[in-house]
């Protein structure tokens, strides 16, 4: 089997982090976003993963060339000269994907427990041309709702309903049979709006409910909430990957070479990346420290993301959704609330929310 991951786009929703790295390579729970998906695909026997790319392809290729040998899976890129939507990339990559077998399609922003083997079994059982994962949401009015029967056959798509019709939405993960290539033209195309509705009318499109958590981590607030969900899932499936003992509170992931000082309180829902240094008396909660960042003694970081090699001074305070780009310096005793700081900047005065530091 093969798989296609849609990684095109500039990652504007996740700036300022994507000023330094393409979005698929930004670390989520101490691993590049796209690696979570590739590892899960390799685990069910996918032999080749194709990345549909139209932004910084060479950086992505260089990174994944090293990972390909480790995972024992072929990783290739399919370059788009222009953004091709969510269906066009399938047609562009057809020469890589079409070996007569069903293939996976994933949006690179999505994270979950990736029930790929269950999808394969369901797809075979139903004889579907396409199988979609669906997930339950609390506010379906923000999404396109999928209506389906007890057997999983999709009957209708309802875009952003103003009245309740259902609460299951497209989770952005598909298993498609090769016949779908005949439905797609070589142009910018939406698979959700131009392909799937026709398949549903022809009764060839089915869906499977996603067990466990689901998150789209393509913007900072969702990145943080997705981190909490992923850590909670790891608590059940792989507790050894999480930190324990003093000064850990709740679900926390700490890189092996990170250093945490005395008298700290770390957690819940915190990720400390490789090479990070956390000073004495620091409080971290619901935040991610990306590789090489440093937090000065007695500082407080909550609901924030600290970029690579950034430095937060002593007695500083970051809260309410702060996002620091790469190599940002926050001076001692600065209070930042809801601030976004672009890479390679220094801040020495209080920041009021919201503000983008240029």
Q: Which residues are catalytic?
A: 160
And the tokens for 173?
A: 């993960």
Angle at the Cα of 17 (from 16 to 20), degrees rounded to 5?
A: 105
The 10 Å CB-count burial string (b at 16+, else e) for 301-317 is bbbbbbbbbbbbbbebb
- Cβ-contact 279, 259 below 8 angstroms: no
Select from 265, 260, 216, 213 the least CA-distant residue to 234.
213
Helix (H, G, I), strand (E, B) or coil at 27: strand
> What are the φ and ψ backbone dihedral angles of 171, each rounded to 5 degrees?
-90, 0
- Cβ-contact 104, 178 below 8 angstroms: no
| Residue located via tokens 């399938």 | 90
**Beta-carbon neighbour count of residue 198 at 10 Å?**
11
Select from 273, 297, 274 the least CA-distant residue to 287.
273
């Amino acid at each position: 089997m093969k798989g296609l991951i849609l990684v095109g786009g500039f990652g504007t929703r996740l700036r300022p982090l994507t000023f330094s790295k393409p979005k698929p390579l930004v670390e989520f729970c101490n691993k590049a976003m796209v690696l979570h998906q590739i590892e899960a695909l390799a685990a069910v026997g996918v032999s080749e993963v194709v990345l549909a790319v139209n932004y910084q392809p060479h950086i992505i290729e260089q990174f994944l060339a090293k990972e390909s040998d480790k995972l024992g899976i072929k990783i290739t890129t399919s370059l788009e000269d222009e953004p091709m939507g969510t269906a066009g990339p399938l047609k562009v990559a057809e020469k890589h994907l079409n070996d007569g077998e069903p293939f996976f399609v994933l949006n690179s922003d999505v994270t979950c427990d990736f029930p790929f083997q269950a999808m394969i079994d369901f797809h075979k059982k139903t004889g579907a041309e396409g199988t979609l994962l669906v997930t339950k949401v609390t506010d379906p009015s923000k999404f396109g709702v999928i209506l389906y029967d007890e057997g999983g056959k999709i009957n209708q798509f309802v875009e952003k309903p103003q009245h309740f019709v259902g609460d299951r939405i497209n989770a952005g993960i598909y298993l498609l049979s090769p016949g779908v290539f005949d439905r797609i033209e070589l142009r910018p195309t939406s698979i959700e709006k131009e392909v799937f509705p026709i398949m549903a009318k022809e009764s060839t499109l089915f869906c499977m409910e996603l067990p466990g958590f689901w998150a789209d981590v393509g913007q900072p607030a969702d990145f943080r909430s997705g981190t909490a969900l992923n850590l909670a899932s790891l608590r059940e499936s792989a507790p050894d990957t999480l930190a324990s003992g003093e000064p850990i509170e709740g679900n926390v992931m700490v890189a092996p070479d990170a250093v945490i000082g005395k008298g700290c309180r770390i957690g819940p829902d915190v990720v400390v990346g490789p090479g990070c240094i956390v000073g004495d008396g620091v409080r971290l909660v619901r935040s991610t420290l990306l590789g090489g960042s440093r937090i000065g003694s007695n500082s407080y970081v909550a609901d924030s993301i600290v970029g690579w090699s950034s430095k937060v001074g002593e007695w500083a305070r970051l809260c309410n959704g702060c996002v620091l780009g790469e190599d940002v310096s926050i001076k001692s005793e600065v209070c930042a609330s809801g601030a976004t700081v672009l890479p390679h900047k220094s801040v020495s005065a209080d920041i009021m929310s919201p503000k983008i530091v240029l």
